Amino acid sequence: MYQNVALLSVASTIAPRITTSDEIDHRLAPALKRLRLPKGLLQRVAGVHERRNWDEGQKFDDAAVSAGQRALQAAGIEPGQVGLLINTSVTRKHLEPSVAVRIHHGLGLPSSATNFDIANACLGFVNGMSLAGQLIDAGQIDYAVVIDGEDADDIQTNTIERLSTPEIGRKDFMSEFASLTLGSGAAAAVLGRADAHPSGHRMLGGVSRAATQFNDLCVGSVDGMFTDAKALLKGGMELVVSAWTEAKRDWNWSGMNRYILHQVSDVHTDAILKATGIDRSKVPLTYPKFGNVGPASIPITLAAEAETLRPGDRVLLMGVGSGLNTAMMELVW
């Protein structure tokens, strides 16, 4: 639980180039025919009709910087006031230095601002908010920027090329199916002390739980993402239900005004709604047009919903990340 932490702003950078699932079907047409798989699986099974990609010359970290600049402006915070930058991107062009240093420099943050990456698959952004909130409550910093930029271009291209080779079988194809749902995008959030910003959105707290015995069910790199979809869904739902049930001792999340889920697919969303009894009308979906943008999915969806939220609305951020981990965090708008 947090005592004095508020979300001051959230902003997103939407990648401009649209790649439709019909286009991917067309590029994979020979493989689909050879494997006797129908077209339209991405639309009918995953519910992903489009995803976004960067234009030529655009970089994911530049997009993250842009989101960070707009988030700071919306919060009314100068770069010199920031004490912490946490980058949560899965995408990275090299092992070192951190992606955070490029974004720290791009935002013009002071040398006193601690900066580093947190890597925890699709839960990284929520984890980053949680850690930043703890440091604000501890009085170590006044303001934090949590940020994320993702680039799905390489993994998308590499996956399509590999799935088009003759040695790929149906089982291999389906193990890489999730890679085709990924999209590019960026987002940033600014956190600060609630008592200094009474119009901010209070971060109340939440829960996180792990089921790391499932660490090999979804393994990804720039070359591709390989998934045991059936086992991943089963393990993920067991973890979500366990965390949801445990949380009832301290939290009442059955009647939230909005549920901001990590954006994966129709199958994933339907399973969570069935397992928890969440009202579908309170769950906005962005994956049909943006795909799965990794850790940026939750803040991109929250940014899209922000204008429709009213003071006092209760918002739950929740998701599952490969590994497996789950996290749920309540905000009051």
From 188, 181, 192, select the one nearest 266 (Cα to Cα): 181
CA distances, 175 to each of 58, 91, 282 (Å): 30, 21, 31
DSSP character string of 28-96: THHHHHHHT--TTHIIIII---EEEEPPTT--HHHHHHHHHHHHHHHHT--GGG--EEEE--S--SSSS
Q: Is the separation of the CB atoms in 87 and 98 below 8 Å? A: yes
Q: Is the separation of the CB atoms in 302 and 317 below 8 Å? A: yes
Amino acid at 164: S
Phi and psi at residue 301, in whole multiples of 5°?
Answer: -65, -40
Residues contacting 106, CB < 8 A, separation 6+: 61, 62, 64, 65, 68
CA distance linking residue 303 with residue 181, whole number of Å: 21
CA distance linking residue 298 with residue 326, whole number of Å: 13
Residue numbers annotated as active site = 96, 122
